């Protein structure tokens, strides 16, 4: 147990019922009502709302005149403060809730959906950090754990003319959660991404995956479809890709699934950062039609190479936290709308990136869809973060497995996503190895088309000047990744970095998934002075030069694009609860090191055609 942190009270038994529905795929291509906007909000730091199940009791209309001795209800939604959804509560409410960590209750009323008939309805949450207890019209729908992945509850038979949706979100950090109780990013709490009322036909296309693979006979397009509903079995499904003149049918089996497979047309233009070609596709049954835009590409490794569409590629990356690029210092927050995501990714493109490491948790669907459009390869990661994870706790493993399944389900059709990462900087212990190997097996079973990785930073045989990649987990990964801070943490200075040698016991490609130093924008001095922009530039020059001497280092995702809020960064002179390793400040001011990485990527991009 981590001292000083309350453990969650045991939930009433019925709240353990997950109640989660299979996620309706392709959210943005579906009929849906946006429940974003002004909700009501109540802080419940003593969590009585859970124990006493307050949200189950609607306030009697005439409660103010309730007879003496009647039920005493000590809260009132109609007079509760407003809050905006989506959005963390920390950066709303005039800072009153900036450091709040605990349970908060949201309430939103919404009318019955306009159409009647035999439609089905789902409450679809894109994310709520960290644990969400969802009630509709006083009845519990269920609980979702995990702060960065979508979840849904079917409410078809639970809607009335005037609906009361009550959501208790608890962002209290706790050993046993994923992440645990100590992470180097700000614990933004609340309904941080949009909420939708999604409508589908009685039998709908619940999940569909369209992939390209290079077979012996040539490239093959495969589309697997899963229907949900009373007529899921023995139902015709049609795949159309108009720009490729493809229209093919299949019929689902008894399990409601169908597979359509065909040779890829010779003129198919593959997706890549240089040509992020997306093809409109339409999947339909007699009842349901969904449209999406798909990029066709392959990703693999061979020896020391990462192969995109069969050609070796160097990953010119940068790490990014999901935090708004502010227009003024106190503007950052977890709510990112399309423009916010685009601003961050445009900064990555300006650096010359073809790759972004979306750290340390799944970012919004907006971001991965924009990466499809902008031509940015994506490293997608679940927050199995450092040593503060209960690697021997079955519930913790269940949560991590669920998170991984949820993000793979959501993003399986995003061509930009090429890596599923199961961890960051995890200890060399047997429980950790078992935990991560379970996740890797899950990822491979659900999606055999992408690379599996994890950011490592432990070694058995390393010395101060020889880094040996010998973490046993490396045997299970396709792409190795290593976080190095030699020259910032530890006794070495940036001037010592070029004396570092690298050795790997694996015949696999590796990226430097993190390196960086703190530098507050505008702090200048001699390069030997920590916290200055000059020190950060010197560190980048030395680290990039050193990495470039290693033929099996096939990419970088330095730490980090933008300064970000963190509870671990206390110095009032330089940090003030900001991690200053960004190449740009929290308002986008570019530091001296920015040019070093930009110029290196320009050189890489101009390098002779890949091997
Ligand atoms: C670690 C960790 C990051 C952290 C960084 C730092 O490598 O992966 O989450 O922010 O180092 O110390 O700044």
Distance from residue 505's CA to the centre of ligand 1 (Å): 25
pLDDT score for 63: 47
pLDDT digits (tens, 9 = 90+) for 22-74: 899 999 999 999 999 999 999 999 888 887 665 544 444 444 555 566 666 67
Distance from residue 184's CA to the centre of ligand 1 (Å): 6
Tokens standing for residue 230: 């009373």
Q: DSSP label at 456?
A: B
The residue range of the domain holding 380 is 300-456+507-606
The phi and psi torsions of 253 (rounded to 5 degrees) equal: -85, -170
Among candidate residues 146, 176, 200, the one where a domain is terminated: 200
Of ligand 1's atoms, which has the minimum distance to the CA of residue 359? 9
Q: Half-sphere exposure of residue 74, counting CA atoms within 13 Å on the CB side? A: 5
Distance from residue 383's CA to the centre of ligand 1 (Å): 13
pLDDT digits (tens, 9 = 90+) for 484-503: 999 999 999 999 999 999 99
Mean pLDDT of the chain: 92
- Same domain, residue pair 181 and 326: no
**How far is 29 from 250, CA to CA, in rounded Å?**
22
Q: Is the pLDDT of residue 516 over 60?
A: yes
pLDDT digits (tens, 9 = 90+) for 197-217: 999 999 999 999 999 999 999
User: For residue 137, is it within any domain?
Assistant: yes
Specify the higher pLDDT residue, 77 or 415: 415
pLDDT score for 116: 63
Residues with CB under 6 A from ligand 1: 184, 360, 424-425, 483, 514, 559, 579, 581
The phi and psi torsions of 95 (rounded to 5 degrees) equal: 70, -5
- Same domain, residue pair 80 and 138: yes
- Same domain, residue pair 112 and 41: yes
Query: What CATH number did the domain enclosing 208 receive?
Result: 2.60.40.10
Query: What CATH number did the domain enclosing 405 receive?
Result: 3.20.20.80
Q: Is the pLDDT of residue 365 over 90?
A: yes
pLDDT score for 546: 98
Among candidate residues 200, 217, 235, the one where a domain is terminated: 200
State how many domains the chain has: 3
Q: Is the pLDDT of residue 412 over 70?
A: yes
Across residues 604-608, what is the average pLDDT? 78
Residue 142 pairs in a beta bridge with: 134
Cis bond upstream, residue 86 (ω within 30): yes
pLDDT digits (tens, 9 = 90+) for 110-134: 998 876 678 999 999 999 999 999 9
Q: What is the dihedral of CA 350, 354, 356, 357, to 10 degrees?
A: -140
Q: Note whether 195 and 124 are within 8 A (CB).
A: yes
Write the DSSP assignment of 249-301 as a string of letters: EEE--TTSEEEEEEEPPTTPPPP-SSS---EEEEEE-SS-EEEEEE----EEE
Mutate to test the pocket of ligand 1, among 559, 560, 578 (most ligand atoms within 8 A of CB): 559
For residue 578, CA distances in Å to 185, 566, 570 come to 9, 5, 8
- Same domain, residue pair 401 and 280: no
pLDDT score for 138: 84
- Same domain, residue pair 135 and 251: no
- Same domain, residue pair 523 and 399: yes
Q: Note whether 154 and 128 are within 8 A (CB).
A: no
Query: What CATH number did the domain enclosing 118 receive?
Result: 2.60.120.260
pLDDT score for 5: 31
Distance from residue 608's CA to the centre of ligand 1 (Å): 33
Q: Note whether 476 and 505 are within 8 A (CB).
A: no
pLDDT score for 11: 43
Distance from residue 360's CA to the centre of ligand 1 (Å): 10
Quote the pTM value.
Answer: 0.94
Answer positive or negative: Cα dihedral of 122, 125, 130, 132: negative
**How far is 346 from 582, CA to CA, in rounded Å?**
15
**How far is 141 from 159, CA to CA, in rounded Å?**
12
**How far is 41 from 20, CA to CA, in rounded Å?**
24
Of ligand 1's atoms, which has the minimum distance to the CA of residue 581? 13
pLDDT digits (tens, 9 = 90+) for 329-340: 667 789 899 999
pLDDT digits (tens, 9 = 90+) for 156-169: 999 999 999 999 99
């Amino acid at each position: 147990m981590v001292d000083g942190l309350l453990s969650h009270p045991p939930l009433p038994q019925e709240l353990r019922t997950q109640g989660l529905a299979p996620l309706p795929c392709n959210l943005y291509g579906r009929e849906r009502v946006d429940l974003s906007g002004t909700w009501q909000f109540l802080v419940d730091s003593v969590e009585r709302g859970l124990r006493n199940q307050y949200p189950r009791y609607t306030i009697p209309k005439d409660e103010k005149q309730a007879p003496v001795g009647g039920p005493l209800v000590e809260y009132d939604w109609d007079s509760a403060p407003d809050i905006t959804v989506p959005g963390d509560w920390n950066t709303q409410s005039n800072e009153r809730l900036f450091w709040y960590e605990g349970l908060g209750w949201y309430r939103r009323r919404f009318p019955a959906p306009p159409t009647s008939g035999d439609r089905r309805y789902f409450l679809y949450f894109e994310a709520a950090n960290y644990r969400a207890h969802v009630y509709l019209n006083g009845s519990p729908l269920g609980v979702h754990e995990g702060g960065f992945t979508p979840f849904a509850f079917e409410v078809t038979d639970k809607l009335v003319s005037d609906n009361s949706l009550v959501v208790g979100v608890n962002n209290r950090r706790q050993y046993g959660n994923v992440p645990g109780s100590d992470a180097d990013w700000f614990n933004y709490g609340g309904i941080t991404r949009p909420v939708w009322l999604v409508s589908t036909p009685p039998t709908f296309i619940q999940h569909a995956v369209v992939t390209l693979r290079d077979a012996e006979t040539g490239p093959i397009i495969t589309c697997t479809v899963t229907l949900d509903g009373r007529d899921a079995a023995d139902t015709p499904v049609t795949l159309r890709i108009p720009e490729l003149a493809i229209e093919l049918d299949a019929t689902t089996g008894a399990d409601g699934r169908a597979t359509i497979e065909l040779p890829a047309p010779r003129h198919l233009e593959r997706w890549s950062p240089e040509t992020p070609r997306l093809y409109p596709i339409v999947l339909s049954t007699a009842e349901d039609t969904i449209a999406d835009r798909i990029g066709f590409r392959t990703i693999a490794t061979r020896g020391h190479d990462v192969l995109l569409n069969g050609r070796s590629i160097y990953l010119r990356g940068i790490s990014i936290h999901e935090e708004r690029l502010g227009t003024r210092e106190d503007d950052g927050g977890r709510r990112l709308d399309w423009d916010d995501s685009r601003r961050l990714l445009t900064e990555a493109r300006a650096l010359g990136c073809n790759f972004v490491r979306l750290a340390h948790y799944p970012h919004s669907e907006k971001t991965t869809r924009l990466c499809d459009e902008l031509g940015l390869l994506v490293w997608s990661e679940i927050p199995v973060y450092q040593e503060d994870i209960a690697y021997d706790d079955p519930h913790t493993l269940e949560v991590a497995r669920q998170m991984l399944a949820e993000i793979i389900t959501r993003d399986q059709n995003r061509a930009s996503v090429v890596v599923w990462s199961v961890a960051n900087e995890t200890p060399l212990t047997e429980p950790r190895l078992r935990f991560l190997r379970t996740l890797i097996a899950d990822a491979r079973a659900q999606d055999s088309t992408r690379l599996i990785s994890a950011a490592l930073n432990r070694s058995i045989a390393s010395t101060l000047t020889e880094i040996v990649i010998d973490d046993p987990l490396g045997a299970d990964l396709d792409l190795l990744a290593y976080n190095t801070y030699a020259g910032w943490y530890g006794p070495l200075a940036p001037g010592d970095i070029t004396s570092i040698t690298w050795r790997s016991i694996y015949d696999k490609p590796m990226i430097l998934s993190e390196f960086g130093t703190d530098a507050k924008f505008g702090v200048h001095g001699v390069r030997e002075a920590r916290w200055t922009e000059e020190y950060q530039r010197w560190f980048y020059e030395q680290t990039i030069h050193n990495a470039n001497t290693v033929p099996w280092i096939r990419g970088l995702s330095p730490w980090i694009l933008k300064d970000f809020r963190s509870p671990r960064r206390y110095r009032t002179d330089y940090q003030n609860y900001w991690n200053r390793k960004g190449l740009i400040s929290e308002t986008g001011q570019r530091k001296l090191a920015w040019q070093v990485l930009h110029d290196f990527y320009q050189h890489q991009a101009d390098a002779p055609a890949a091997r």
